[in-house]
Amino acid sequence: MAHKTYGNLIGGQWLPAQSGKTFLNINPADHSDIVGEFPDSAAADVDLAVAAAKKAYATWRLVPAPKRAEILFRAALLLSERKEQFAREMTREMGKVLTETKGDVQEAIDEAYYVAGEGRRLFGITTPSELENKFAMSVRMPVGVIGMIAPWNFPMAIPSWKLFPALVAGNTCVIKPAEDTPLSTYNLVQTLIDAGLPPGVVNIVSGYGPEAGAPLVEHPGVRAISFTGSSATGSLVAQRAAATFKPVSLEMGGKNAMIVMDDANLELALEGALWGAFGTTGQRCTATSRILLHKSIAAEFTSKLVARAAALRVGNGLDPAVEVGPQVNAQQIATSTEYVAIAIAEGAKLLTGGHPLTDGPCANGTFFAPTVFGGVTPTMRIAREEVFGPVVSLIEFSTFEEAIEIANSVEYGLSTSLYTKDVNRAFTAMRDLEAGITYINAPTIGAEVHLPFGGVKKTGNGHREGLGSLDFYTTWKAVYVDSSDKLQRAQIDNAE
Ligand code: UN1
């Protein structure tokens, strides 16, 4: 079947890249399936998109916030109607299984309902003035044009975490979707347009990081950047944005630990481990990539986990029997393969998997066998560095305190989890695990949109998506109204 060619969205028009260049979006489960052809954009396209966003900002910022929010409510309804179709297209471009891509679309729906409610809040604070007949208040103002760089692992949910709060607050946007998954951003934005979003309020520039992402970060017309991706790229983004003093929100890597205590419900922990480590083929920044096992349950847990991991059905995510889809591209397969070699060289014990899958249902794509390493020690690279694939490390410990110390010993701090029935330990872990997210008796994945999402250390730079995102997409303005009809001098006229 002939594939479809998509344009950039600039000021409401679908335009090819100025250079005429394109790239193909290919199904990672079946390389003969071309999902679409997208503009391979560069600085000239970014310039056009930023100009369109700037123009639209002049009127969008004046639309009352409750009216802006109504567009999001309508988009939520449309997304619900289109959920099945968008999920199928997302599985085709990204690979994860259909139940998960439906969850990804649902996360955008949840975000729309959550943040559209803010249209009638966006609360500021009024406070007494120190002077008579003077009124003091603080209001949230939009920031201006926001540049957004999105990852491929949550192709609709993560763009929605960025676009929706930015829009309700009155900003206009230029988004660069990941080159592996542009279609889901197109589907999301087309839905916003169908819900009534005016031209130019959201613009899409598709392409690669160095050619299309870097000019967006550096553009003087862009007031802030929201980025989700690797810590290595995030560091470049922050450094380049610093030259124009842009605020940057960074959501980056993780090396998320699940701690299983000796009193845990082991069957529950096992289910959680499989879902946390191999859901989304391990390609979540929240993926469970280290499982810390109390030594008294380690042998039993390990043998059960290995058996279950080896039995997972890997294949095309559109097949309802499949539990684990492909990795998104050959580069990710290369990274997983490289880390397997590193782990073996360090002395870790390969218990199952450890290689690409190239036969049967996996013959035409980029698949990797669910992989479990035992005998991992906390100092090994496989225990410290993000793989972003279906590879999990098992580490044994003797005491709860030691487990917390191991969990905290990495440079990342996104998500953590503890399986125990001991309420005292649960509360100690909630306090002492150095991470933006802690789960008790649940794996490290499964964040809900209305709680803060983000991490500490190398995972982030202090901003949060979900609860807290409006702090990034608005700027505070203090307003003083003096009704005294005379000059009143703060700090001076009322002083002793
Ligand atoms: C990610 O891990 O890259 O918490 C995002 C979760 C999802 C979002 C994950 N709701 O697992």
CATH superfamily of 256-440: Aldehyde Dehydrogenase; Chain A, domain 2 (3.40.309.10)
User: According to CATH, what is the number of the domain 8-252+460-478?
Assistant: 3.40.605.10
| pLDDT computed for residue 2 by the predictor | 85
Q: What percent of the chain lies above the pLDDT cut of 90?
A: 99
Tell me the average pLDDT of the chain. 98
CA–CA gap between residue 197 and residue 184 (Å, rounded)? 17
CA–CA gap between residue 238 and residue 240 (Å, rounded)? 6
Q: Summarize pLDDT for 209-237 with one digit per residue, the tens.
A: 999 999 999 999 999 999 999 999 999 99
Is 96's C-beta closer than 6 angstroms to any atom of ligand 1? Answer: no
Ligand 1 centroid vs 90 CA: distance in angstroms?
16
Q: Summarize pLDDT for 159-217 with one digit per residue, the tens.
A: 999 999 999 999 999 999 999 999 999 999 999 999 999 999 999 999 999 999 999 99
Confidence tier at 494 by pLDDT (50, 70, 90): confident
The packing angle between helices 157-168 and 182-194, to 10°, is 40
CA–CA gap between residue 286 and residue 153 (Å, rounded)? 11
Is 154's C-beta closer than 6 angstroms to any atom of ligand 1? Answer: yes
Burial class (CB in 10 A: 0-12, 13-18, 19+), 198: middle
Is 447's C-beta closer than 6 angstroms to any atom of ligand 1? Answer: yes
Question: Which of 111, 211, 285, 323 is flagged as catalytic?
Answer: 285
The residue contributing the CA closest to ligand 1 atom 6 is: 446
Helices (H) and strands (E) in the chain, counts: 13, 25
Q: Which residues pair with 331 in a beta bridge?
A: none
> 244, 375 in Cβ contact below 8 A?
no
CA 14 → CA 7, 40, 41, 49, distances in Å?
Answer: 5, 14, 13, 11
Nearest atom of ligand 1 to the alpha carbon of 153: 3
Which tokens in the block code for residue 329? Answer: 């591209």
CA–CA gap between residue 481 and residue 168 (Å, rounded)? 27
CA–CA gap between residue 238 and residue 350 (Å, rounded)? 37
Question: Which of 251, 323, 386, 396 is flagged as catalytic?
Answer: 251
Which tokens in the block code for residue 358? Answer: 């190239």
Is 161's C-beta closer than 6 angstroms to any atom of ligand 1? Answer: no
Domains 8-252+460-478 and 256-440 share a fold: no
Confidence tier at 495 by pLDDT (50, 70, 90): confident
CA–CA gap between residue 445 and residue 301 (Å, rounded)? 20
| pLDDT computed for residue 1 by the predictor | 64
pLDDT beyond 90 at 496: no
Burial class (CB in 10 A: 0-12, 13-18, 19+), 232: exposed
Please tell me the pTM assigned to this model.
Answer: 0.97
Burial class (CB in 10 A: 0-12, 13-18, 19+), 476: exposed
The residue contributing the CA closest to ligand 1 atom 10 is: 447
Distance, CA of 451 to chain centre: 14
Could you please report the per-residue DSSP string of 129-154?
A: -SSTTEEEEEEEEE-SEEEEE--SSS
Planar angle of CA 460, 461, 462, nearest 5 degrees: 100
Burial class (CB in 10 A: 0-12, 13-18, 19+), 144: middle
Q: What percent of the chain lies above the pLDDT cut of 70?
A: 100
Distance, CA of 449 to chain centre: 11
CA–CA gap between residue 25 and residue 38 (Å, rounded)? 7
SS (H, E, C) 155-185: CCHHHHHHHHHHHHCCCEEEEECCCCCHHHH
Which sequence spans correspond to the domains of the chain? 8-252+460-478, 256-440
CA–CA gap between residue 172 and residue 189 (Å, rounded)? 13
With the most atoms of ligand 1 within 8 angstroms of its CB, the residue from 161, 284, 465 to mutate is 284
CA–CA gap between residue 106 and residue 278 (Å, rounded)? 20
pLDDT beyond 70 at 42: yes
Q: Summarize pLDDT for 81-139 with one digit per residue, the tens.
A: 999 999 999 999 999 999 999 999 999 999 999 999 999 999 999 999 999 999 999 99
CA–CA gap between residue 182 and residue 14 (Å, rounded)? 14
CA–CA gap between residue 291 and residue 276 (Å, rounded)? 10
